[in-house]
Structure 1
Amino acid sequence: MSKEVSRRTFLKILGGGLAGMAAGGAVWKRHEIMAFLDADKAAADAGQDMGRVATRYYAPLGKDLSLLGFGCMRLPTKFSAQGRVIDTELGEKMIDFAYRHGINYFDTAWFYHDGQSEGFIGQALKKYPRDSVFLADKMPTPILESLNQAKEIFQTQLDRCQVTYFDNYMLHSLTSRDEFERLYIQNGILEYLRQEKSRGRIRCLGFSFHGDVPFFQYLMDQYPWDFCMIQLNYADWNGMGEAPSGSRQAGDLYRKCREKNVPIFVMEPVKGGNLADLPASSAAILKELHPDASLASWALRWVGSKDGVITMNSGMSNLEQVLDNVRTMSDFSPLSPAEERAIQRSMGKNADSMAIPCTYCRYCDPCPYGVDIATVFQLYNRFGEPAGIDMAHPDRADDAKKRQFLTRYQNNLERNQRASQCTACNTCLPRCPQHIPISKNIRAIDDMVQQFSRDTGKVVI
């Protein structure tokens, strides 16, 4: 493939997603991705209309927000002497591409990319008129201890992002009523944030939520909010994949928002990529109706079809995801009744999946013993379906598949990052938004690794 992207190739890719990009099994190299993004900019500079994502009116700001938002939790990364860092050159070009195609909502947080995300997005957006973008940030609930600390954090966030105000600001990851009342009410942090709103340094004040339904109802009934952010996708609508109690049903949260007429901002519309990588039996049902549509596009359209949803954040970490998402939302149409039924049928097939409902958000980090929890879960979840393995009985896989898994496991995890390092200390449990029994699953995966090693004679070094 040429280092230069021809105009014909450019239009083919933009019009058809990555079907053209991956034709013949080709994988684009970094400089070719850069060339594509430069070609897109040249087309925009020449005045060519390349399509813009759909928008929704957001009354608190009196403006239209893009129905697709850019989540800055999973930006492209690279290795450096300091470890894994944001690939700022590629990341900024991806942000520029998103902006050119109508995405104007960008969401960051204190914890994202180990504190790198806020500074990155602030620099990336600095070139654009401030009133042409909507920037969201969050007060990091899990580390809060005092009002003075909250004040310091808020000012640091403004400085990192190089702005004088946030369009949307959230109480990050509210999980329990006791914690909320202790930190935000008794310590006065909520009142402080309201004061910052009156000063104009916060335009809209809301929260992101990872608790149970009764706590959510309490928040909505007792306090006024300009918006709230909930995890909403078709897998979680009726609590599928959630805690055994089923207490965190996205449908209940959605209906409460509609009852209170609170605008809905959505996180994890593709459930951390899980809905872009369905079991073959589930994917076949959707592909039968739309062979060329990506699985992720089904998830985005499902969320975008819901009344009251203003925007949905997609954590886009590579060009393929950006192109597919922009393509989907530039030609957005709500799901038809037939498409709704197809999703319901596909979820019936997916109900037997043994996948761990991890969205790879990494809120569980750091593990005191070094386990890379998200990668361990990701390797496990991606082991079964592509190889046609019944994950209810992984021991029945043939030795070649077991060796393939062990090789990937070894290559993607350092020794001190593997499941064998877990001590079941359960430090991670209260941090998990999905309420996954992390240590139980980690130890089960380690048992599987050890069994595969004995079955195949392949020693994991």
Structure 2
Amino acid sequence: METKGKKIDRREFLRRIGAGAAVTSAAVLAGCGGKNTPVLGGQPVQGEVPTDRMTYRTNPKTGERVSLLGYGCMRWPTLGGEDGADELDQETINRLVDYAIGHGVNYFDTSPAYCKGRSERATGIALSRYPREKYFIATKLSNFAPSTWSREASMAMYRNSMKELQVNYLDYYLLHGIGMGGDGMGAFRSRYEENGMLDFLLAEREAGRIRNLGFSYHGDIRVFDYLLSQHDRYKWDFVQIQLNYVDWKHAKEVNARNTDAEYLYGELAKRGIPAVIMEPLLGGRLSNVHDHIAAKLRQRRPEASVASWAFRFAGSFPGVLTVLSGMTYMEHLQDNLRTYSPLEELTDDDKAFLEETAQALLRYPTIPCNDCKYCMPCPYGLDIPGILLHFNKCINEGNMPSSSQDANYRRARRIFLVGYDRSVPRLRQADHCIGCGQCNPHCPQGIDIPRQMQRIDRFVEDLKQGRVF
């Protein structure tokens, strides 16, 4: 094995995978997903991380054992600072991959769109130091922009993924973001059917260069139902869906465009199609819940993190092949490894408890931003995810000044305004939004971003003027 041309011998490899404590400080890392990467809900990690107890699920097509914890590569760490803000920290990425593989993780999910186009290359560098049979690579045809819908542009993206990942076949390949945007069905036909691209990918699967073909679903249920109705024709090997204990029954309460995960999973299970799970933490919100909700979760399971409840929920369904987590920090990786090494499936009482928790969370609504950055760059320079995530953070931490009559108003007002200026440079704040709407079609969560920018801007101005709510 090699790191930037340097061979790793067995002793060095074992030292690295056992030396997690030396690289657990989240303070020294900054992820390409931003500084608001999901946290552990304030719960300290407990005990050793097992190296040989990972839970695996069997791919019904290939018989291969896939780790229930999948590594999402959308939020690789960056070097940080003004000069290295967007440059990925390859040495730290290599350490995270070494630790993950050393503790049983074998599924890595990336895309040409992640980390401003840098994720595939960084992932390829880290994984290419291992024998090819040691890991499964999932990547995507992320041809979101109409300029990339042509057959030639799409094929170039597909072939470039293999080049960047340093492989000659892909274990899992996805049509990315199916159902995203206003006309989900029309976009699907233009991106994949009318240009013959889907027929090309089916032929690539037949030739063995794609071993499993699927799609990731975002939003328009007509497209999801249509693609499953065509299962005899396309023979989907897997489908990636958003599933967590809030979206299971309450997806539309979070976002009117979404469909309950209970329906999505049920339709896949009927057909025997394995599910790959994204957003098990609902964009980090299920690891950073309101204090009184976190207290109830910890009371029920004192040794566990808040986030572990969401991962146990997602992993407790037998039709789930793997659960993705974008782990920028070693502490997140270690916590998730504990949850799945091995998985302790939820009881019926646990599921009822989480349903009560979901209902409580919905009484404290946040904006459903998961920091994917598909809305970026803004042509007017706004830091859209930074604005939305600061707003959500203040709600989750109880620092939302709701009335000047509240005893906590002054403190919460100061925390919100000072934190806003620290999180988002003033020239990139919500007051600079002109409402052009270029961001909206790219948001997988269907957020009306200009409307939220106007709402937050009015809120900030009221706070600055000390107006009574």
**Category of TM-score, reference length = shorter chain:** 0.7 to 0.9
Task: Report if aligned partners of 1:243, 1:434 keep a CA contact under 8 Å in 2.
Answer: no
Question: Structure 2, unaligned stretches of length 5 or more?
Answer: 1-17, 30-48
- Please list every run of 5 or more consecutive structure 1 residues that lacks an aligned counterpart in the other structure: 1-13, 32-47, 457-461
The answer on whether the counterparts of 1:213 and 1:253 sit within 8 Å (CA) in structure 2 is no
Quote the offset at 1:115 in angstroms. Answer: 0.7
Counterpart amino acid of residue 91 in structure 1: I
Deviation larger for 102-111 or 279-288:
279-288
| In 2, Cα distance between equivalents of 1:165 and 1:30 | 35
Distance 1:67 1:404 in 2: 39
Q: Report the CA distance between 1:243 and its aligned residue.
A: 6.2
Local SS of the residue matching 1:270: coil
Question: Match of 1:122?
Answer: 124
Q: Which has the higher contact order (CA 8 A, sep 6+)?
A: 2
May I ask how many residue pairs the two structures share in their alignment?
Answer: 422
1:433 and 1:182 map into 2 onto residues whose CA distance is: 18
The alignment yields a C-alpha RMSD, in angstroms, of 2.6
Q: CA deviation at 1:187?
A: 0.6
Please report how far the alpha carbon of residue 241 of structure 1 lies from its aligned counterpart in structure 2 after TM superposition: 5.7
Alignment of 1:81-96 (within 5 A): 81=83, 83-96=85-98
Q: Is 2:393 aligned against 1:382?
A: yes
- The structural deviation recorded for 1:285 is 2.3
State whether residues 364 and 431 of structure 1, in contact with CA within 8 Å, keep that contact through their aligned partners in structure 2. Answer: yes
Q: Give the 3 Å change call, closer, same or farther, for CA 411–139 of structure 1 in structure 2.
A: same
What whole-Å deviation, never above 9, does each CA across 1:194-215 have from its counterpart, x for those lacking one? Answer: 1211222111110011023232
Give the whole-Å Cα distance in 2 for the aligned partners of 1:324 and 1:247: 29
Partner deviation per Cα, 1:151-179 (whole Å, 9 max, x = no partner) = 11111111011110110000000111111
Displacement, 1:247?
4.8
TM-aligned CA deviation for residue 391 of structure 1? 6.6
Aligned to 1:450: 461
Displacement of 1:119 in angstroms is 0.2
- The CA deviation at 1:127 is 1.1
Find the counterpart in structure 2 of residue 62 from structure 1.
63
Matched, 1:174 2:171: no
* Cα distance between partner residues in 1 of 2:316 and 2:204: 34
CA shift, 1:401, in A, is 2.1
2:195 corresponds to which of 178, 187, 201? 187
Q: Post-superposition shift, 1:347? A: 1.5
Tell me which residue corresponds to 1:45. none
2: CA distance, partners of 1:188 / 1:229: 22
Distance in 2 between residues matched to 1:315 and 1:358, nearest whole Å: 15
Task: Report the equivalent of 2:346.
Answer: 335
* AA partner of residue 173 (structure 2): Y
Report the alpha carbon displacement of residue 242 of structure 1 after superposing the two structures with TM.
5.1
Cα drift, residue 325 of structure 1: 0.6
In structure 1, what residue type is equivalent to 2:419? Answer: R
SS in 2 for 1:269: coil
The SS at the match of 2:129 is coil
Query: Which piece of structure 1 moves more, 346-355 or 113-122?
Result: 346-355
**Residues 1:359 and 1:66: Cα distance change in structure 2 (over 3 Å):** same
Would the aligned equivalents of 1:54 and 1:67 in 2 still touch at CA under 8 Å? yes
Pick one of 238, 251, 261 that aligns with 2:272: 261
Within 5 Å, which residues of 2 pair with 1:66-81?
66-79=67-80, 81=83
Q: CA contact under 8 A between 1:69 and 1:312: conserved in structure 2? A: yes
Alpha-carbon offset, residue 339 of structure 1:
1.3
Q: Secondary structure at the match of 2:343?
A: coil
8 Å contact from structure 1 (residues 141, 174) kept in 2: no
CA distance in 2, matches of 1:301, 1:151: 38
Q: Distance in 1 between matches of 2:386 and 2:112?
A: 22
Paired amino acid for 1:65: V
* Preserved contact between residue 73 and residue 109 of structure 2 (Cα < 8 Å): yes
Match of 1:405 in 2: 416
> 3-state SS of the aligned residue for 2:241?
strand
Q: Is the 8 A contact 1:281 1:346 kept in 2?
A: no
Is 1:164 matched with 2:175?
A: no
Confirm or deny that 1:284 pairs with 2:286: no
Aligned residue identity for 2:92: L
Deviates more, 1:74-83 or 1:274-283: 74-83
For 1:393 and 1:324, locate their aligned partners in 2 and report how far apart those are by CA, in whole Å.
Answer: 38
Q: How does 1:367-378 map to 2 (within 5 A)?
A: 367-378=378-389
> Does the aligned pair in 1 maintain the 2:254–2:368 contact within 8 Å?
no
Query: Deviation string for 1:300-352 (max 9, x for gaps)?
Result: 00010012000011000111111111111113110012211211121221121
Shift of 1:111: 0.6
The equivalent of 2:210 in structure 1 is 202
Deviation at 1:455, TM superposition (A): 2.0
Corresponding residue for 1:43? Answer: none
Whole-Å Cα distance in 1 between the matches of residues 73 and 375 of structure 2?
18
Letter in 1 for 2:136: F
The one-letter amino acid of 2:213's match is L
1:347 and 2:358 correspond: yes
1:79-127 CA-to-partner distances (Å, cap 9, x unmatched) read 3636422211112101110000000000000110011100000000011
Q: Identical aligned pairs, as a percentage?
A: 35
Determine if contact 1:399/1:455 at 8 Å carries over to the other structure. Answer: no
Q: Give the Å deviation of 1:49.
A: 6.6
